[in-house]
């Protein structure tokens, strides 16, 4: 195992970040909710606020407006701070950590491709619980996030620059979906993440 780094941000999407109707659909980060802890379940994640409020992620299979796709196991997503630093080099400082909407953001200087994560991830909680996250799958970037990253006008027709940016954001740059098969377990900011 190799230590990747600590969890520095946990968040849920209370609702879809893609708003509006095509061709004017856009990416809106307002539904992102940063939380101090998440419960991981096979169906997705549930966030917990400081006040104990439960906030289900829109990708949880039990969310009222669920965007869960079993085949893609998109209920839990992980991203890395080194990837954000690389995205900012290309797109600018407006692209803050977490805006790609992963549930778990890990602090690291490592650029991690799909092959680097083939063995899966392991979270070690402060109480010593070990949580396996398997089958990392590239979170393919959507046009709306790509246009947001580029500051591409919402009413402009996508062109070659958008296609180039989509290619840049692929291959894990904007994060990974991971599978979890255990019972409900709570993870918190500060827990450590390893690659196996």
- What are residue 117's phi and psi, to 5 degrees? -110, 10
Q: What is the per-residue pLDDT for 43? A: 86
Q: What is the per-residue pLDDT for 31? A: 95
Partnered with residue 188 across adjacent β-strands are 37
| Span 180-188, average pLDDT | 95
Q: What is the per-residue pLDDT for 71? A: 57
Q: What is the pLDDT of residues 163-179, one digit of tens each?
A: 999 999 998 999 999 99
Query: Structure tokens of 144?
Result: 């709306």
Domains of the chain: 2-195 (2.40.33.20)
Q: What is the per-residue pLDDT for 42? A: 86
* pLDDT above 70 coverage of the chain, percent: 93
pTM score: 0.94
Q: What is the pLDDT of residues 26-72, one digit of tens each?
A: 999 999 999 999 999 988 899 999 999 999 888 777 666 656 666 56
| pLDDT-derived band at 135, boundaries 50, 70, 90 | very high
Q: What is the per-residue pLDDT for 68? A: 60
The H or E element containing residue 177 is strand 176-179
- 78 touches 102 (CB < 8 A): yes
| Span 89-117, average pLDDT | 96
Q: What is the per-residue pLDDT for 69? A: 66
DSSP 14-71: SS-SEES-TTS-EE--TTEEEESEEEEETTEEEEE-TT--EEE-TTSTTSTT----GG
């Amino acid at each position: 195992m190799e230590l990747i780094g600590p969890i520095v941000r946990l968040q849920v999407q209370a609702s879809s970040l893609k708003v509006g109707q095509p061709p004017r659909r856009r990416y809106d980060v307002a539904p992102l909710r940063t939380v101090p802890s998440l419960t991981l379940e096979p169906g997705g994640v549930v966030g917990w606020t400081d006040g104990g409020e439960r906030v289900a992620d829109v990708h949880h299979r039990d969310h009222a407006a669920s965007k869960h796709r079993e085949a893609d196991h998109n209920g839990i997503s992980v991203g890395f701070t080194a990837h954000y630093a690389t995205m900012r080099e290309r797109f600018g400082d407006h692209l803050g950590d977490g805006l790609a909407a992963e549930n778990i953001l890990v602090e690291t200087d490592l650029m991690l491709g799909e092959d680097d994560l083939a063995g899966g991830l392991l979270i070690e909680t402060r109480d010593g619980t070990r949580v396996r996250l398997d089958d990392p799958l590239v979170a393919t970037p959507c046009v709306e996030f790509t246009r947001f990253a580029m500051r591409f006008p919402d009413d402009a027709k996508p062109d070659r620059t958008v296609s180039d940016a989509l290619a840049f954001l692929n291959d894990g740059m904007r994060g990974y979906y991971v599978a979890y098969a255990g019972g409900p377990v709570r993870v918190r900011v500060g827990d450590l993440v390893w690659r196996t």
